[in-house]
Amino acid sequence: MTTPSPLQTDLYQLTMAAAYWQAGKAEQESVFHLFFRRVPFKGGYAIAAGLELALEWLEAFRFGGEELGYLASLRTKMGTPLFQKEFLSYLGELRLKLDIDAVPEGAAIFAHEPLLRVQGPILHAQLVETALLNILNFQTLIATKAARVCHAAAGAPVVEFGYRRAQGPDGGLSASRAAWIGGCEGTSNVLAGQRFGIPVMGTHAHSWVMSFDDEAEAFDRYAEAMPDNATLLVDTYDTLHGVDKAIATARKLRSRGHELSGIRLDSGDLAWLSQQARAKLDAAGFPEVKVVASNDLDENLIESLRHQGARIDIWGVGTNLVTAGGQAALGGVYKLAALRREDGSWQPRIKLSEQTAKSSIPGRLGVRRFEEDGLFIADAIYDVDRSIPEQAEIVDPGDPIRRKKIAAGTISHDVLQPVMKGGVRTSAPEPLAAMRERCKATLAKLHPGTLRLANPHAYPAGLEQGLYQERERLLADFR
């Protein structure tokens, strides 16, 4: 991944920072929230990811001589320096003093709920906006896609095969990480294996078979080189004849004390071919040989193939996973929600929109998740400076008719957790495996209807009644 730099930002963040500094507002305490307005893929949930990478970037945030030299070289259209020397000196001494509360990686998150609450000097909070959005938007999008694909696979392993189709080296590495959190069993990306400890898996390409005059010889030679890790790609010429030749290779391996790991199907009618291949393998005495399928798979095709009775043991998903096929971006935003007054109290701030759902939510926000009979039943977005009533009521910010009451005494927990205080992390980095297990545990606590790929049940996530009323009051005042 790219070496962290404070210049991983948009120019307007720096020009605003200069203006805050010039106006004497640089140290005014503020609160921003990072959130999205619509669940991706028209699904029922999203999976939070990218926090650890964001924290690494925040920890490394420094304007060094190279960055300051570049900023000093920028000119206005009149040829004058874009930034004053005094401001650049200020940046050179800057150390972030932010308090951050965040949704842990692997946890479910829903529309309008903060992935992050960022509190601190407004200049500091403004400078980190672009990088935080860049990291969390993409990682959350891919982790969500992976969770959907793995749900479609219904327990069969999914391997991420997409590095060659990813959006550049950084995109490929980030996608492998997020896909692992979302539930994939492994990756073909060796760097991701080395960097993150993700199991690496793979087969061979058509070029291996094509480099020999005979397909059977190609299989034999590959099995000799990889006797305990041989999965043979059988569709270079004629798929079912290829299966027959793979079986012959499997017999030779067995005679030497080894077993063929699998065969891979990468084209054609995957449902029918997998059924035929499975029948051949079983009849030949190789029921443990896995049938692996690839070829532009996504969650919808996997679900369809399963319903057609496909006999596929492992799904290799590439392009549509690492590029989040069907959803170009998460659409996360970063909005100012409160400013500290001179008397120490908080002044809520709100962004208006012609669409009520796009108007921001004021205040310092938290998310309270309620649980009943082992399942999550609702989330309340609330102002942490107000108490939630024992019997809470939540209101959908986009449709105030949709409301839900929560009985007093319902089990609950706060989703956002403190991860940074005054610019210093509050705990050691969390292992990636723990994030992956959290994702599995979280999905197990969502109603099956929320997990549906098409027309999912809308999970109740809305504004606590008092916060909803405060937002309506502010909207009415401004209008």
Q: What is the pLDDT of residue 444?
A: 98
Whose tokens are 């549906």? That residue is: 452
Backbone φ/ψ region at 285: left (φ over 0), alpha (ψ -120 to 50), beta: left
What is residue 352's predicted lDDT score, i.e. its pLDDT?
80
Chain-centroid distance of CA 443 in Å reads 14
User: Helical H runs in 153-255?
Assistant: 168-181, 190-196, 206-210, 215-225, 239-255
Specify whether the CB–CB gap between 376 and 369 falls below 8 A: yes
CA pair distance 146, 186, nearest whole angstrom: 12
Q: What is the model's pLDDT at position 354? A: 63
Q: Which pLDDT score is estimated for 475? A: 86
pTM value? 0.96
Strand partners, 317: 160
pLDDT (tens digit per residue) in 121-165:
999 999 999 999 999 999 999 999 999 999 999 999 999 999 999
Q: Are 47 and 332 in contact (CB under 8 A)?
A: no
For the sheet containing 424-425, what is the strand order? 346-348, 333-340, 29-35, 116-121, 99-102, 417-421, 424-425
Q: Residue 336 has what pLDDT?
A: 97
20: its two tokens = 């805050």
Low-confidence ranges of the chain (pLDDT < 50): none
Cα 431 to its chain centre, rounded Å, is: 16
Pairing between strand 99-102 and 417-421? antiparallel
Helix 432-444, helix 129-152: angle, nearest 10 = 60
Angstrom distance (rounded) from CA 322 to CA 109? 20
- How many Cβ atoms from other residues are within 10 Å of residue 13's Cβ? 17
- What pLDDT sits at residue 387? 84
DSSP 357: G
Look at residue 1 in the predicted model and tell me its pLDDT: 66
- 254, two tokens: 């067995």
What are the tens digits of pLDDT across the range 217-258? Answer: 999 999 999 999 999 999 999 999 999 999 999 999 999 999
